[in-house]
C-alpha cells in the first residue's frame, strides 16, 4: 500500500510533507508552508497544531473542529513575502470541503508573521 498523500496538495507523502510540521520535528520555513500545514491540520483534525501556530495576538482560547467537515482540496492562488528571510507574508488560497452532502469553498488571503523565529497565522480576509 502506498504512503498516504499529504492533504495540502503537494503530492508528497504526509510523513514527508506536513506530518513533520504537525509533530514539531520540522517547522515551516515559509508562510506558504505554514498555510499548507494548517490546511492539512484541518484535514486531519489537529486543533492543537492550529492553536500552536496561531499568532497570540489573534489566537482564540480554544478551537473546536467540526468532524463532519471533510476537506477535499487546496489551491494556492498567490503569495506575497513570506520567504525564508521575511518577517511577514500573505497567502491567497481556496480551500474546498464537503459538509452535510454539499460542497463548499473558503477563499481567503491569510496574513502571517514571524514570532520568535517561527511563522504564525495572524488572520484572514
pLDDT digits (tens, 9 = 90+) for 69-124: 999 999 999 999 999 999 999 999 999 999 999 999 999 999 999 999 999 999 99
pLDDT of residue 109: 98
Q: Is the pLDDT of residue 1 over 80?
A: no
* Bridge partners, 102 (sequence order): 99
Domains of the chain: 14-124 (3.10.450.50)
Give the angle subtended at the CA of 89 by the CAs of 87 and 95, to the nearest 5°.
Answer: 145
Can you give the pTM of this predicted structure?
Answer: 0.96
pLDDT band at 11 (very low <50, low <70, confident <90, very high): very high
Q: Is the pLDDT of residue 2 over 90?
A: no
Closest CA to 53 of 66, 36, 67, 65: 36
pLDDT of residue 3: 83
Amino acid at each position: 500500500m502506498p504512503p498516504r498523500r499529504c492533504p495540502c496538495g503537494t503530492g508528497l507523502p504526509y510523513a514527508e510533507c506536513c506530518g513533520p510540521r504537525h509533530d514539531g520535528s520540522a517547522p515551516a520555513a515559509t508562510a506558504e508552508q505554514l498555510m499548507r500545514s494548517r490546511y492539512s491540520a484541518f484535514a486531519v483534525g489537529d486543533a492543537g497544531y492550529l492553536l500552536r501556530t496561531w499568532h497570540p495576538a489573534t489566537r482564540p482560547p480554544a478551537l473546536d473542529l467540526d468532524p463532519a467537515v471533510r476537506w477535499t482540496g487546496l489551491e494556492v492562488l498567490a503569495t506575497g513575502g513570506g520567504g525564508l528571510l521575511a518577517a511577514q507574508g500573505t497567502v491567497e488560497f481556496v480551500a474546498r470541503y464537503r459538509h452535510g452532502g454539499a460542497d463548499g469553498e473558503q477563499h481567503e488571503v491569510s496574513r502571517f508573521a514571524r514570532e520568535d523565529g517561527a511563522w504564525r497565522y495572524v488572520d484572514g480576509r
